[in-house]
Each structure stands twice: as C-alpha cells, then as structure tokens.
Structure 1
Amino acid sequence: MKKIISTSKAPAAIGPYAQANFVNGILYISGQIPFNSETGKIEEDIDKATHQVMKNLEAILTEAGLTFDNVVKATIFLKNMDDFAVMNDIYASYLNPESYPARETVQVSCLPRNVDIEISMIAHQF
C-alpha cells in the first residue's frame, strides 16, 4: 500500500510528483532543493542552501514518523563539486555517525530553479 507524505514545512511539489511516498515501510523522498517554505525564497549560499535542504528533508521524515537515523540511502546533486567540503560538513552535522546512510554525490550542470544543491533520500521504518 502506498501512502503519499506531504507537509507544508517543506516545499510543495512543483510538478507531477509527491514530496514522498511510503511503501511497505520504505519512505522514498523526492529531491529537495533549498526552498524555504516560510519565506518563499531560495537559499543561495551553499552553506545556507545545504541547511535548508536538510531541514526540508527532516520535515518530510518527521511527517512520516521517521528521523535521519532511518535514512538508508542519499543522493546528492551539486552544481559545483568545489562546494563538496562545505556541503559534506553540514550534511554530516544532521546525521548520527553510527547510522550514516549509503550515499553518492554527483556534479550536474543544472538543477531545478537553477539551485546549487538537491538531495533525495530513502528511509526505512525499522
């Protein structure tokens, strides 16, 4: 059974997709960009942008009754791999070192709304 997860504390979908789908105890979270739902603005600085993306992901996890400890896989898209170190430190600050998820980080030429970062996650209800 599929349950669509949606929260006003993360950006609304801007296309034909859900913020997240919960299927058989697995939460599939769509890529989140650094859009701040409260201000309606996109965070542009890579440090602020990474924090905003992680807050958006956290809001969706919370809505599903999960935490970052439930995340088993993350995919990170960066426009500039020179931002990797800053992003990586901030990303790690939200996670428990004893339960890091699997992950890949790739550089891409363009992201929605011309942002610098997008992260998607898969979490499992243990």
Structure 2
Amino acid sequence: MAKQIIHTDGAPQAIGTYSQAVKVNGSTVYLSGQIGLDPATMELVDGIEAQVHRVFKNLKAVAEAAGGSLADVVKLNIFLTDLSHFALVNTIMAEYFTQPYPARAAVGVAQLPRNALVEADGVLEIGA
C-alpha cells in the first residue's frame, strides 16, 4: 500500500500529532478534522457561520492539495457543539457541495479543540 502525507499552507497546520490528510493507493484520501482556524493566523474565526465556512474552506484546500476537490468527498462527518446549528450547516454546505451529496453524519459533541463550535473530516475517492 502506497501512503502519501498531504500538506498545504492553505489550511491550518496540525495542532496535534496528525497530518492534514493521508492519501493511500493514489486515490483514497483521509482528511483530518478541520475546525474554523484561519490558516494565516491560526486563530479561530468568530461565530458559528464564519466557522462553518472556514471549516469547508480548510477541507477544500487540503482536498486540492491531495489532487482532488470537494466533489470527490464520499463521506463527511460533522461535529457540532450545538445541534441547533444543523440547518445552518446544511445551508452553508450547499454552497460548497453539489448533488449528489456525499454520505454524511452530524454528531452533537460536548466540546471541540480550541472551543470550536464545529469540526468536519472526510474521505475522498479521487477519480471515482
């Protein structure tokens, strides 16, 4: 199995012991969780709407660094500290993804790194 570590300055640097993404066998990419960190400042953007947008922009940057795009996402996991933001996530997600949408889970959690309000990770299958 060929394994390639993916890195881009277009997304925040890892804040722990992980890579931004790992590409295996040339076509499957595992995206690490992204929170609403601005990659230039490494500061969390303010508010749920801005954080959701930043999360998708960060995922997009890593997907592109891996040679893919958000259109290649086959599975997306979204973690929210407040599930009342579920509808907002759906609305914003529609700005970054088109039908057919990827499989997805949305999970309510007690807390996220840096007290973020939302985090998302995913799996891409490039060329599928």
Is the TM value for this pair above 0.5? yes
SS at match of 1:90: helix
Provide the residue aligned with 2:125 in structure 1.
124
The answer as to whether partners of 1:75 and 1:119 remain within 8 angstroms in 2 is yes
Runs of 4+ in 1 over 3 A off after TM superposition: none
One-letter amino acid of the structure 1 residue matched with residue 121 of structure 2: S
Deviation at 1:40, TM superposition (A): 2.9
User: Within 2, Cα distance between the matches of 1:28 and 1:119?
Assistant: 12
Superposition TM-score, scaled by structure 1 size: 0.96
Aligned residue in 2 for 1:103: 104
Instruction: Give aligned pairs, total.
Output: 125
Mean CA deviation greater in 34-43 or 111-120: 34-43
Structure 1: unaligned runs, 5 residues or longer: none
Please list the CA deviations of residues 49-102 of structure 1 after superposition, one character each: whole Å capped at 9, or x if unmatched. 0000000000001111101111000000000001111111001210012x3100
Q: Secondary structure at the match of 2:59?
A: helix
CA RMSD of aligned residues (A): 0.9
Aligned match of 2:43: 41
Gaps of 5+ in 2: none
Give identity over the alignment, percent: 42
Q: Please list, as runs of the form range in 1=range in 2, the aligned pairs for 1:1-126 lying within 5 A after superposition.
A: 1-24=2-25, 25-97=27-99, 99-126=100-127
Query: Do 1:7 and 1:63's aligned partners in 2 also have CA atoms closer than 8 Å?
Result: yes
Separation of aligned partners in 1, 2:45 and 2:32: 18
**40-49 or 23-32, larger mean C-alpha shift:** 40-49
Q: Cα distance, 1:44 vs. partner? A: 2.7
CA distance in 1, matches of 2:59, 2:115: 19
